[in-house]
Structure 1
Amino acid sequence: MSDYVKRTIMKEEVPSIHLDTPRSVKVYLPPGYNELLSYPVVYCQDGNDFFTMGRIATIANQLILEEGMEPFIIVGVSVDRSKRTSEYSPAGSRNAAYKRFFTQELIPYIEERYPVRRDPASRVLAGDSLGGTVALHLALDNPELFTNVLALSGAFFQTTLDEIERHSTLDWLHLWMVVGLDETAVETHMGTFDFVHWNRTAKEALHTKQVVLSYSEKPGNHVWGLWQKELPDALRHFFPTYL
């Protein structure tokens, strides 16, 4: 177990002209990290939550060391709770600026400093709830950058459905989704929602657009207790194992 908890996590401050202040990010480097190699990369919304409540660095160490998963880098992007809805919601006042920061400032910053692969197939966008929403919209807006999305109980409401409908096909998109079966009345900053209904509706819309989709419903609520348990399978979906 000791190998799993020896995690290498760097801290960075990404300057931004699109956001009010620089944005803190945590960068997980896999076991055996070597700057002469190149690595796929997972970009996480709610980065601090993915590292603390999701335990994604410990999970990644375990998958790489125990299952021979291809090593990858994780970038966790922090968020100010008071601005989260306005940045992550498609209808949020800061959403466009946040997406510009992500594509025009964060990605180049990471790629200048770490040996991450630069092709869309080697990038995964991950998010929980509204973080899953902004991850999907980043991919929908920028297929030349992102083709893989990992959504933990994504808040895929009408605005997202309308955006999916706008595309003639999404056959380039790979999406892994899970939702908890107890998520039928989740209280959010935008109101109370039946996430099971909305995820099922989104699944059908995505299926119609030929998305390469992995969808599951599991016992559990809209909490990290569910999402942490599902993260290993989500990562296995995107990264091969060799053992």
Structure 2
Amino acid sequence: MAFFDCHFFSESLGVSASMHVILPQPTTGQIGMESRAVKEKHPTLYLLHGLSDDHTIWMRRTSIERYASEYGLAVVMPAVNRSFYTDMAHGYKYWTFISEELPALARSFFPLSEEREDTFAAGLSMGGYGAIKLALSCPDQFAAGASLSGAVDVVSLVYKRDAVEFGNMFGDLDQIKGSRNDLFHLAEELVRLEGPRPKLYQCCGTEDFLYEDNVRFREHCRAKNLELTYEEEPGTHEWGYWDRKIQSVLNWLPIR
């Protein structure tokens, strides 16, 4: 695998932005790494960080580079700060950045596939919310979305956290339910539309503070007959769990 620390200007944010990118490299001589044969343009996973982290965290806390090498998968890890992957009411347009500008820029910089069938999103905690939001909001762009211990019920979450900070992100907190920032609403909207539906993956530790929220979202998706793979096991909100489960996500992805 090749690793890139990439810094660039974002038109949608109006500031310089950062991402880490790992790309498949065909090699037989690298000790301890397995590399699948690669295409001209790589299948791509957009791997999203949580509320307190940045674009470096997946490389620092897991062996994502080693895991991805077995699948011939490129991984793009952007920084979005404490934005909850939204066009913030008082802040920057991070939803526009992550859903529109970032994929276009990444494909202009690197040999990444433009095909929906080769494009996936995953993330942990806040990033799990962002990944499912991408899959549900942009089903014509993403074939799959995976949430690890995701903040999937943002309506419930905002009343447990700092109301001022979440107000800066979302605006009027009473208006989140039924909006484009509500994953439950996005799931309902998706089933009303004709067209492709993304595969969804969801996991959460049974001792995680977000466990009950994840159970509610699981039941909602099942009621809507969405294609959801759900896994749970003992675990809390920590990197040992996420390092294990990202391997499950990579094995689950519908990589062609």
* TM-score when normalising by structure 1: 0.78
**Bigger proportion of residues as helix:** 1
Instruction: Give, as a single letter, the amino acid of the residue that structure 1 aligns with 2:47.
Output: C
Q: Deviations over 1:134-169 (max 9, x none)?
A: 121122222221131111111111332233233334
Letter in 2 for 1:45: L
Instruction: Report the equivalent of 2:5.
Output: 11
Residue in 1 that maps onto 2:44: 41
- 1:54 counterpart = 2:54: no
Q: Report if the CA contact (8 A) 1:14-1:109 is conserved.
A: no
| Aligned partners of 2:148 and 2:203 also within 8 Å | yes
Give the Cα separation in 2 of the matches to 1:104 and 1:35: 26
Q: Give the distance between the partners of 2:11 and 2:230, measured in 1 at CA.
A: 37
Q: Counterparts in 2 of 1:78-117, with a 5 A limit?
A: 78-80=79-81, 84=82, 87-88=83-84, 92-93=88-89, 97-117=93-113
Seen in structure 2, the aligned counterparts of structure 1 residues 181 and 138 have a Cα distance that, compared at 3 Å, is: same
- Alignment partner for residue 188 of structure 2, among 151, 154, 165? 165
SS of match in other structure, 2:114: coil
Alpha-carbon contact 1:169-1:210 (below 8 Å) kept: no
Q: Is 1:181 matched with 2:181?
A: no
Pick aligned residue for 1:132 from 128, 133, 145 = 128
Structure 2 stretches lacking a partner, 5+ long: 28-36, 50-54, 156-181
Query: 1:88 touches 1:95 (CA, 8 Å); kept in 2?
Result: no
Cα distance between partner residues in 2 of 1:32 and 1:104: 30
Alignment CA distance shift 1:45-1:93 (3 Å):
farther
Equivalenced residue count is: 213
Give unpaired runs (5+ residues) of structure 1.
1-6, 187-194
Residue number in structure 2 paired with 1:220: 235
Deviation (angstroms), 1:94: 6.2
Is the contact made by 1:99 and 1:138 (CA closer than 8 Å) also made in structure 2? no
Report the RMSD for the aligned CA atoms in angstroms.
2.5
In structure 1, the partner of 2:77 is: 76
Amino acid at match of 1:172: R
SS at match of 2:123: strand
More divergent stretch after superposition (113-122 vs 26-35): 26-35
Identical columns (%): 23
